[in-house]
Copies of this chain bind each other. A is one copy, B any other.
Amino acid sequence: MALKQNVEQALEPTIGVGGLPRAAFEAGLAGATSALRRLREDLETGRLALLQLPGSESDLAEIEAAAAGLKQGASDIVLLGTGGSSLGGQTLAQLADWNVPGLGRLAEGPRLHFMDNLDPITFARLLERLPLPDTRFVAISKSGGTGETLMQAMAVLSALDRAGLRGRAGELLLGLSEPRKPNGRNALRDLLEPEGVRFLEHHTGVGGRYSALTNVGLLPAAILGLDIRAIRSGAAEALAPIRAGASVNDTPAAVGAALAIAAALEQRGIHVMMAYADRLERLTRWWVQLWAESLGKDGRGSQPVAAIGPVDQHSQLQLYLAGPNDKVFTVVTTGVAGEGPAIDPELARRAGEPGFAGRHIGDLVAAQGRATADTLARNRRPVRRIEVDSLDARTMGELMMHFMLETILTGYGIGVDPFDQPAVEEGKILAKQYLAESRA
With a cutoff of 8 Å between Cβ atoms, the chain B residues found around residue A130 in the complex are: 106
Tell which of B106, B155, B362 touches A129, judged by Cβ atoms closer than 8 Å: B106
Range class of the A interface residue count? 35 or more
Q: Given that A356-B150, A359-B435 are known contacts, is A426 also in contact with B378, CB under 8 Å in the complex?
A: yes
Q: Given that A301-B324, A427-B372 are known contacts, is A348 also in contact with B270, CB under 8 Å in the complex?
A: no
A177–B279 CA distance with the chains assembled, in angstroms: 30
Is B371 in contact with A427, judged by CB distance below 8 angstroms?
yes
Give residues 183-234 of A contacting B (CB, 8 Å): 185, 187-188, 190-191, 194, 208-209
Instruction: Write the nearest CB–CB distance from A105 to chain B, whole angstroms.
Output: 5
Interface SS of A by simple majority: helix
Is B120 in contact with A362, judged by CB distance below 8 angstroms?
yes
With a cutoff of 8 Å between Cβ atoms, the chain B residues found around residue A324 in the complex are: 269, 299-301
Quick one: CB contact mask for A139-166 with B, threshold 8 Å, 1 for yes? 0000000011011101101110000000
Is A341 in contact with B82, judged by CB distance below 8 angstroms?
no
A181 contacts chain B at the CB level, 8 A cutoff? no
Copy number in the complex reads 2
A310–B82 CA distance with the chains assembled, in angstroms: 9
A298 contacts chain B at the CB level, 8 A cutoff? yes
A244 contacts chain B at the CB level, 8 A cutoff? no
Tell which of B117, B316, B347 touches A278, judged by Cβ atoms closer than 8 Å: B117
A277 contacts chain B at the CB level, 8 A cutoff? yes
With a cutoff of 8 Å between Cβ atoms, the chain B residues found around residue A326 in the complex are: 269, 303
Instruction: Write the nearest CB–CB distance from A163 to chain B, whole angstroms.
Output: 13
With a cutoff of 8 Å between Cβ atoms, the chain B residues found around residue A123 in the complex are: 340-341, 361
A42 contacts chain B at the CB level, 8 A cutoff? no
A40 contacts chain B at the CB level, 8 A cutoff? no
Give residues 319-373 of A contacting B (CB, 8 Å): 319-327, 336-337, 339-341, 343-344, 347-348, 350-353, 355-356, 359-368, 370-372
A119 contacts chain B at the CB level, 8 A cutoff? yes
Q: Pick from A301, A356, A427 the residue with the most CB of B within 10 Å.
A: A427
With a cutoff of 8 Å between Cβ atoms, the chain B residues found around residue A347 in the complex are: 154, 157-158, 191
> Can you list 21 residue pairs at the A/B interface with Cβ under 8 Å?
A102-B116, A105-B105, A120-B362, A124-B340, A185-B352, A187-B352, A269-B269, A299-B323, A300-B323, A301-B323, A303-B326, A305-B305, A321-B423, A321-B426, A359-B435, A364-B435, A366-B438, A370-B434, A371-B430, A375-B430, A379-B423
Closest 7 pairs between A and B when the two form their complex, measured CB to CB: A120-B340, A296-B319, A83-B314, A289-B315, A296-B323, A120-B362, A367-B434
